[in-house]
Amino acid sequence: MPFLKEPEYTHGKTGKTAILLINLGTPDAPERGAVKRYLKQFLWDQRVVEIPRPVWWLILNGIILPFRSGQSAKKYATIWTKDGSPLKIHTEKQAMLLKGYLGERGHDVHVSWAMRYGSPSIPSALQKLKQEAYDRILILPAYPQYSATTTASNMDAVFSHYQQVRNVPELRFVRNYHDHPAYIEALRQSVLKHWQQNGRPEKLVMSFHGLPKAFLLRGDPYHCECYKTARLLAEKLGLTKDQYLVTFQSRLGKAEWLQPYTEPSVQQLAKNGVKRIDVICPGFIADCLETLEEIAVEVKQAFLTAGGKEFHYIPCLNESPAWLRAMAEISEQHLAGWPTMFTAGMREEQKQQALISRAEAKRLGAPH
């Protein structure tokens, strides 16, 4: 059969709504084999690398995977926790908390999560929602700024899965929220909280994940959305143009990427006499290898070695209450028109069930 088997249909069941929070992905373990599998899936995505497939197959399998897998595994090992990958832990907690926040707002909505690369996969998460009879699904990306390499790749995976499904649910996609007031406010509160505890820097560096410059020239709006996020955050913080700097990190290969690059930029700041900088990564909603190792370790060392005296990394939004409220507000706007609200006839214990996830996330260590 060309389609997956449908679950048994029961007449009289009311429709149910779910949100699927999708993050980029992470290896299953900080080991060479696991990292190689993850990188192979990630870097083979034509949304991520647009080089012709035969040429790229040789480069990927002959050069990158044999050498980069072991190096990346060592870096992952430095940030790994007893509960696993920080990215996976934060994504799971965010999903649990979002369900609770939406429940408090009166929404009977299930929230699950998946990874574009790695596990749990998008197909497995969607198939589970199918088995549990959810027929309205909102796809919420963990990427505030739209890019074909991330948000559109999520869409590819969702549509590819439903090519195998006979009874496709109603779907909605959050495209971006780079300028959403609640997201900007969550960033503002994160920075101010850090400054209240540690004082202010001479320069705030806003580091976003990089992309090849060619993607910008071909029409990807990511670069512009990053700069808009930075401008809005700077305005909310009352910063002048010379008090903050936008940079791009995580360059791969020798081609030109979006500039200025983060590490050379902070080195130049140090050489110019700047003694303290704070770095925030607004494009990541959860701490991961690119923030905890690349920024908080490698970029910090580059700044200090170049003559800087004090470096502070401001953590990602993770499970901050302001960010969870923002996630709920963003979701609520995209759920508009769907029958998600608890009805007057529902028993109180049914509504309380939606709040269990928030209590469980708090028990696991998320902030109140």
Instruction: Determine whether the annotation assigns residue 329 to a binding site.
Output: no
HEC sequence for 138-169: EEEECCCCCCCCCHHHHHHHHHHHHCCCCCCC
Q: In whole angstroms, what is the distance from residue 357 CA to residue 260 CA?
A: 41
C-alpha closest to that of 79 among 271, 366, 288: 288
Residue holding tokens 């369900």?
99
C-alpha closest to that of 90 among 291, 312, 288, 326: 288
Residue 267 corresponds to which tokens in the numbers above? 């080195």
Residue 81 corresponds to which tokens in the numbers above? 């926790």
Give yes or no for a contact between 87 and 287, defined as CB atoms under 8 angstroms apart. Answer: yes
Instruction: Determine whether the annotation assigns residue 209 to a binding site.
Output: yes
Question: What's the half-sphere exposure (Cβ side, CA atoms, 13 Å) at 352?
Answer: 3
Binding site listing:
209, 290
Binding site listing for Fe(2+):
209, 290
